[in-house]
Structure 1
Amino acid sequence: MTMISPKVAILSSMIEDCKGFSKIFKNINILIDSFDDADSFLISHIQRQYDLVLVRAQDVDYEGQSLFDRPELKKVQRAFIVASNSDLKSVAKIESLGSIFTELDLLVQVRGVLDQYNRKTSLIRQVNQLETFHDKYRHKQEALVASLESERTKTLYGKDFFEVCDIINFNKDESDFKSLIANVFEPQEFVTSVTVFDLNSNTNKLCAVKYDGMKNINVPDIWLGHIKLRGVNENGMNMVKNIVSSLVHNPVVTLAMSANGVDITTVVALEVDRDYLFNFNWQVVESLLSGVYAQIVNANTHSAAVASAQGPFELLGQISQTTHGRNLIAVDTSEISDLLELRSDFDFDWETFWRDMKINLSQITNLSNIYNISFESIVLDVENDFFEESFAAAKDLCKNIRLAKYFSGKDKSLILSMSLNVFEVPYSQYSMVTTARKLKAKRSFQESTI
């Protein structure tokens, strides 16, 4: 082992010790400073900063405490000069490189102490180098740890992610979006609750849609303000997250659905386990779901446009088979035919009007529940549980329909005040027949006054 020459001092009140050790260290080419009292040693140490100190055991105590309890000496390596077992016991509890017995071969013992010093110094140097290396490459280590943690996280949550994607793909031909959402998220343990909101462009509200599932929760409708929106904006998305979050315990993820890639018309709010909030690729899930959503909406719109009309006989047959739990909503379109009788210079695009009405009314009830009784009325067959919402939606929808776009003619001032009236019809064949007769009587009266 290569000898490292330290700065050495000896502190002993025995002059013989100072002379003897000075001679030994000189023989191994190390010069030492000798002191016979602690005060002079401490003054010199402040200037020289000794690496190794040999202290006679009897001189260790200084001002009532161990000399090496002083802050400036705590890191200094030391060895003790002892003459008896009692000396050895007095310094036994003080950390040191060892003890040198005055009655034994001093040179051998000094070499042993220096070997200990070199080993310890070398070890300290290695530790310092490792600490320096660690500090230098700490950022690389942290990046590596983060990368490993990221891979572990991907593996942990990847299974659930691919399962969700597989279920979406498996249900891509589903014709009902609510059923799709139930199929995807009801089986997932990390999803606690599910809420689907549809935008009602007439009321400017996001309405929570009920579906048959254990995780579906009741959430009030969310009004988006006075300004009519074609789609839900960022403020609306934040409102959904805030309102649902106030009703549940876990974090909420919102997924935006668009049928045209621009306007958000449905929002899915999921209450999820906290770990899945940032460790799950929700952006991909949103994209996949929105693609299927667009497919469903566009397919339903096409179906509404080409669906065959159901007339009065089908409605009367349906009424005869149903005993309770349903209600009828009628849309009075007689003002259109009234104007056409008054103004022969007007034409009305009945085909486009009927197609648009089917598309709009299919937002309230299924196409199979929409009946074209005559060119003077359209009837919706709805469940009692949803009658109030359906009736209000039908009134709002009809109030906002611009009939002028279906008319052709020069003077459209009469058309501007026209509207479609909506009213309730009791669920019976008698009520349906009497309603039809009232409309007919109304027309007969108008014809007699022309």
Structure 2
Amino acid sequence: MSVKEEPSGLFDNEDSEAGGESPEGDTTGAEVMAAEESLLKKFEISVSEAEKRTGKNAMNMQETYTAYLIETRLLDAHNEGHSSLDCLWRRYSEFELLRNYLSVTYPFVVAPPLPEKRAEFVWHKLSADNMDPDFVERRRIGLENFLLRVASHPVLCHDKVFSSFLSQENGWKEALNETGLQLKTDSRLKSLNATFRVKNPDKRFTELKHYSDELQSVISHLLRVRARVADRLYGVYKVHGNYGRVFSEWSAIEKEMGDGLQSAGHHMDVYAASIDDILEEEEHYADQLKEYLFYSEALRSVCRKHELMQYDLEMSALDLVSKKQQCEELATGTVRTFSLKGMTSKLFGQETPEQREAKMKMLEEQIEEGEEQLKVQNEESRDFVQNAWLEIERFKDQKNRDLKEALINYAVMQISMCKKGIQVWTNAKECFSKM
């Protein structure tokens, strides 16, 4: 996919103050693009190799895992040909932690997804073992793609934690924990409440949520079809190996036809053996589709965060209305609706004027605080919606460009395979003609 052709960036602590603590700064789009361009010209990022390791996990138990070597190269524009290379190793779980941090810290961003942890939607002859060398290699490519996505993002590329992830072997997790990630992470129960209890959902986000569900469904179905086609294709190619064996055996008993049959059999054997490399290449295009399968979850995540924000806003508004009603009831001495306080007053007598005045004063302070909080929440909600839709438009452009390229390349590969089949049988025809 074309993302590899995009230059990759690394946050420069000396040039910018942007970071995890202020994801919604007042930087203009032109300033962001200018800063982005300068950063991307300074650095190259790659995940150059993978290594199988054995060590102890958090439970102090022995485990086998794969570590990936990240190389960050500082390009010196003033000294052509000179570069400074930094290397460090990261586990897949560390990439997961980084992505979780970015998703929580920048809730309006459609966070780039990680490659799959275990192989899915594969043709049955391909290993689904997450330690299989071919799978590890494809995941290495996917992790590099993830870093390039983040590094080329106009907001994420400036994050300090992302910078330390690329440049500090140790200590980057401490920097991450200092951001208060755990406190910012919303509970699943709260998310579920928001989904079902928001009274005035934003129609645009509702439609986006439906679109992400449909996108996931379509790509999942496409990947299943592709796996079945690859399975059948594998069988067709391998059966040509039987042609090769039969022609070879036949050539042994034929004097005049022997050479032609032997040559035709050779073409069939070569054709049969080529399928393994072809389907490995095809798996690369499947991984590009899988990236957008996982992007659909990132879209839903933005929708859920908006639901949570809207839910908190509505709860604050209801609480403010309730306090104003209580204040009015205390001032007038009338209770409009049934309440436990009203029943208590009837059973045990009315409050003294002093008690009522103290409660009114406390409620007035709470109302003032509530109004200020509601104002802040409304501003945050407007900022979120504005930033989210700018991000979604950027994502749509990227998606259309990437999927168009992936599908065209996939079609070109299929055409190439068909031409190879035609050429094999054309060669066989010539062999038969010379007999």
Structure-1-length-normalised TM-score: 0.21
Whichever structure has more helix as a proportion of its residues is 2
Structure-2-length-normalised TM-score: 0.22
Whichever structure has more strand as a proportion of its residues is 1
Q: Which has the higher contact order (CA 8 A, sep 6+)?
A: 2
